[in-house]
Chains A and B, each alone.
Chain A
């Protein structure tokens, strides 16, 4: 769409600019401020330069949290995206059942994140939870508070439970935009189910799936509340993901300088990812308008 050049449009954007500026730029500057200073209490601050950044970039702790975070994001993407597409392909196309499915599937998305954690914390408990009880009745030794592998499985299953529906919804919306004529043509050509998926459905879902992957990647990259409620980052540090580690450092130990440097490194990583996301989105928009 051709847009008219109008510099006065800035006035329309001004409220958003002030609002987000107040709640984003000011706090971010505070973080930058802390990241280059050191304190010995009494509100006295000393210039520390890039010391904290060097310390953080070399810190084993940060590396480990980062690796755990990458592993977590990779695993949940590998499960959620194929599962979400598979479920979306099997959903009823229209009618009352489609609505019922949509509403039921969206339910986990609307639960406060700490309640999601609480639900799974209870559900996995060996003494009072259905899952834990059933597993121990089957003779499987399962205890997410003591065994790191069990803890990992629990938070991964929890995330799959929580967010796969997002992929389903997006894939479903993509599928619904395919005209019936495409399927009729495929039928005339006697295309196999796989070929219909590969050459009709997948290309048509490409746009929404990209959005789904990027959203899931970024949201999982800053996940905090759900694993924190379930495992508290434990046992040991086994499930201490980036955000959990950051909050531990900033609020638990009150190491403001290192935590601030950590925040900025973290934020830069996110910024990079956002840029990828934005580029993909604008390219998609451009493709759409060319059609």
Chain B
């Protein structure tokens, strides 16, 4: 434990202090989320007329609105389509590149790596307008693939960085043995190497999924109707009616669900992902 003092009483005190700190911090994190859930289960009248810590008049009507109205639930489907597309594209492109960076040195490799990083750090606000014009001019505006490609801007560099971090943990002897055994590069990569870094690929997929899921500025700029993401559907509803708090809260709660579901599987690798493979 953390307390170096040998006395049992002090150790128990220190442990309780730690637990309390953690509990307070988690309470601080969960309070706003709890309030959102609370609101999503109330009727609008109850939200506006009375103040209560839990719904007196429990209702699922707000969720029903979302699940029955196509303009709402298509928002979720659109978001999922471009997020999955983006994840697949990012990983497919990043795998060979990360292998190259982790195994070989070649002309300009360091500069290239740095250039990739600058794209992860580029403010989306800088790219919003040119993206709009670029995708409009090639007829991709308001398609899922446009958003998926735009999100590659920050997800591909991220994927390369995380995967490179995992790949350098695999000893080079494995590659060499496989080549001696007569494996071609492609067969070695798919049959031997990819299973070895399966957890790395999983974590990378999670991070691509997550960063594409939480981004709004680009996905909103590049879509109007057919590929409109859920996040943009929400903002429109706020400005249009301004009053339907219950549905807004329900929509918000539903956007948290996908992240909350997958996070359990990668809980031990989250830090490594955020540190771009460097923990």
The interface of chain A, by Cβ under 8 A from chain B, is 1, 3-10, 12-13, 15-17, 19-20, 22-24, 26-28, 30-31, 86-87, 89-93, 99, 101-115, 118-120, 122-123, 127-131, 133, 161, 164-166, 168-170, 172-174, 177, 183, 186-187, 190-193, 196, 207-208, 211-212, 215, 218, 221-222, 224-225, 229, 242-243, 246-247, 250-251, 256, 259, 263, 266-267, 270-271, 273-275, 277-278, 281-282, 284-285
Q: Given the complex of chains A and B, what is the CA–CA distance between A135 and B52 in angstroms?
A: 15
Q: Does B216 contact A114, Cβ atoms closer than 8 Å?
A: yes
Q: Does B4 contact A87, Cβ atoms closer than 8 Å?
A: no
Q: Which chain B residues lie closer than 8 Å to A19 at the CB level?
A: 89, 93, 149, 152, 156
Q: Which chain B residues lie closer than 8 Å to A119 at the CB level?
A: 32-33, 35-36, 252
What are 8 pairs between A and B in contact, CB < 8 Å? A6-B104, A13-B112, A90-B17, A107-B33, A110-B256, A130-B35, A174-B279, A250-B128
Q: Given the complex of chains A and B, what is the CA–CA distance between A207 and B93 in angstroms?
A: 29
- With beta carbons under 8 angstroms apart, the residue of A27, A105, A128 that contacts B245 is A128
- With beta carbons under 8 angstroms apart, the residue of B97, B105, B256 that contacts A111 is B256
- Say yes or no: is B121 at the interface (Cβ < 8 Å to chain A): yes
Q: Given the complex of chains A and B, what is the CA–CA distance between A154 and B92 in angstroms?
A: 41
Which residues in chain B, 241-272, are within 8 Å of chain A measured between CB atoms?
245, 248-249, 252, 255-256, 258-260, 263-264, 267-268, 270-272
Q: Does B106 contact A7, Cβ atoms closer than 8 Å?
A: yes
Q: Does A170 contact B275, Cβ atoms closer than 8 Å?
A: yes
With contact pairs A87-B25, A119-B252 given, residues A173 and B275 touching in the complex (Cβ less than 8 Å): yes
5 nearest A-B pairs in the assembled complex, by CB-CB distance: A110-B259, A173-B271, A27-B130, A222-B123, A12-B100
- With beta carbons under 8 angstroms apart, the residue of B94, B122, B263 that contacts A106 is B263
Q: Which chain A residues lie closer than 8 Å to B214 at the CB level?
A: 110-113
In the complex, the number of residue pairs spanning A and B with C-beta atoms less than 8 Å apart equals 302
Q: Which of B58-66, B190-198, B231-239 contacts A (4 or more CB under 8 A)?
A: B231-239
Q: Which chain A residues lie closer than 8 Å to B118 at the CB level?
A: 270-271, 274
Name B271's closest neighbour in chain A (CB-CB). A173
The interface of chain B, by Cβ under 8 A from chain A, is 1-4, 17-19, 21-22, 25-26, 28-33, 35-36, 39, 47-48, 51, 53, 89, 92-94, 96-97, 99-101, 103-107, 109-110, 112-114, 116-119, 121-131, 133-134, 149-150, 152-153, 156-157, 160, 168, 172, 210, 213-217, 221, 230-231, 234-235, 238, 245, 248-249, 252, 255-256, 258-260, 263-264, 267-268, 270-272, 274-276, 278-279
Using A30-B130, A112-B230 as known contacts, list a sample of 11 further A-B pairs with CB atoms less than 8 Å apart, ordered by residue number in A: A24-B119, A105-B26, A110-B256, A111-B214, A113-B216, A123-B36, A130-B35, A208-B278, A224-B123, A270-B121, A278-B117
With contact pairs A12-B97, A247-B125 given, residues A106 and B270 touching in the complex (Cβ less than 8 Å): yes
Q: Given the complex of chains A and B, what is the CA–CA distance between A89 and B104 in angstroms?
A: 39
Interface-central residue, A128, A131, A183, A211, by most chain B CB under 10 Å: A128
Q: Does B93 contact A9, Cβ atoms closer than 8 Å?
A: no
Q: Does B97 contact A13, Cβ atoms closer than 8 Å?
A: yes
Interface-central residue, B110, B129, B157, B221, by most chain A CB under 10 Å: B129
Q: Closest approach, in angstroms, between the C-beta of B191 and any C-beta of chain A?
A: 17
Q: Does B121 contact A5, Cβ atoms closer than 8 Å?
A: no
Name B99's closest neighbour in chain A (CB-CB). A12
- With beta carbons under 8 angstroms apart, the residue of A1, A5, A168, A251 that contacts B128 is A251
With contact pairs A106-B270, A250-B129 given, residues A7 and B116 touching in the complex (Cβ less than 8 Å): no
- With beta carbons under 8 angstroms apart, the residue of A31, A103, A106, A172 that contacts B130 is A31
- With beta carbons under 8 angstroms apart, the residue of A20, A208, A211, A256 that contacts B119 is A20
Q: Which chain A residues lie closer than 8 Å to B149 at the CB level?
A: 19, 22-23
Interface-central residue, B26, B264, B267, B274, by most chain A CB under 10 Å: B274
With contact pairs A30-B133, A284-B278 given, residues A107 and B263 touching in the complex (Cβ less than 8 Å): yes
Q: Does A91 contact B256, Cβ atoms closer than 8 Å?
A: no
Q: Given the complex of chains A and B, what is the CA–CA distance between A177 and B278 in angstroms?
A: 12
- With beta carbons under 8 angstroms apart, the residue of B96, B152, B249, B263 that contacts A23 is B152
Name A3's closest neighbour in chain B (CB-CB). B105
Q: Does A246 contact B259, Cβ atoms closer than 8 Å?
A: no
Q: Does B31 contact A130, Cβ atoms closer than 8 Å?
A: yes
Q: Closest approach, in angstroms, between the C-beta of B114 and any C-beta of chain A?
A: 5
Interface-central residue, B1, B30, B105, B150, by most chain A CB under 10 Å: B105
Q: Closest approach, in angstroms, between the C-beta of B263 and any C-beta of chain A?
A: 6
Q: Given the complex of chains A and B, what is the CA–CA distance between A22 and B104 in angstroms?
A: 25
Q: Which chain B residues lie closer than 8 Å to A196 at the CB level?
A: 2, 4
- With beta carbons under 8 angstroms apart, the residue of B25, B114, B215, B245 that contacts A122 is B245
Q: Does B114 contact A169, Cβ atoms closer than 8 Å?
A: no
Q: Given the complex of chains A and B, what is the CA–CA distance between A24 and B17 in angstroms?
A: 49
Q: Does A186 contact B106, Cβ atoms closer than 8 Å?
A: no
- With beta carbons under 8 angstroms apart, the residue of B4, B93, B238 that contacts A191 is B4
Q: Closest approach, in angstroms, between the C-beta of B192 and any C-beta of chain A?
A: 16
